[in-house]
Amino acid sequence: MKAIYPGSFDPITYGHLDIIRRAAMLYDELVVVVLINDAKKPLFTVEERVEMLKETVGELPNVTVKASPGLTVNFARKEGASVIIRGIRAVMDYEYELQQSTINMMLADEIETVFLLARPEYSFLSSSAAKTVASYKGDLKHFVPNNIAKRLEEKLHK
């Protein structure tokens, strides 16, 4: 069975990485998809985010990384995926994800959404938090892998 894990991944955090590893154990194939959203102003380009993801999940043989504009369900259909993976950190995430999942069900009822709960040590973690810590030259060891920390530092402190 094939699943997709969509997100902005600006940048990938240990929380994202944990969800990717766990989803990769549950499904035969997992496509991590960087969603292109013109309404957002990301720190990293789409190409940079795809590259960072590939560097970070390269050791997982059943995981691929792609980018896509448009609706997540359309990407899932194009990929032949029957599952959309979403991570949940707190009640606030659940409310947002419930709304998105309901819309996806209305658009593509053949595609299921599966929620994976964040491990407690990652429940506080977000890309925004990592960017904030990096902007003040804080220690990123609990937020992102070393290769991502280096890229954040380069991007924010040129």
What DSSP letter does each residue of 42-110 carry, written as one string? -SS-HHHHHHHHHHHHTT-TTEEEEEEES-HHHHHHHHT--EEEEEE-SHHHHHHHHHHHHHHHHH-TT
User: Is residue 134 included in any domain, yes or no?
Assistant: no
C-alpha of 111 from chain center: 18
Structural domains of the chain, count: 1
Catalytic entry in 40, 41, 157, 158: 40
pLDDT exceeds cutoff 90 at 40: no
pTM across the whole model: 0.94
Question: For residue range 103-119, what is the model confidence (pLDDT) as tens digits?
Answer: 999 999 999 999 999 99
User: Is residue 110 included in any domain, yes or no?
Assistant: yes
User: Is residue 149 included in any domain, yes or no?
Assistant: no
CATH number of 6's domain: 3.40.50.620
User: Is residue 135 included in any domain, yes or no?
Assistant: no
User: Is residue 105 included in any domain, yes or no?
Assistant: yes
Q: What is the rounded average pLDDT of the residues 82-99?
A: 92
Q: Which domain holds residue 23?
A: 2-122
User: Is residue 156 included in any domain, yes or no?
Assistant: no
Catalytic entry in 22, 66, 77, 89: 89
Distance CA 116, CA 106 (A): 21
Catalytic entry in 49, 127, 131, 151: 127
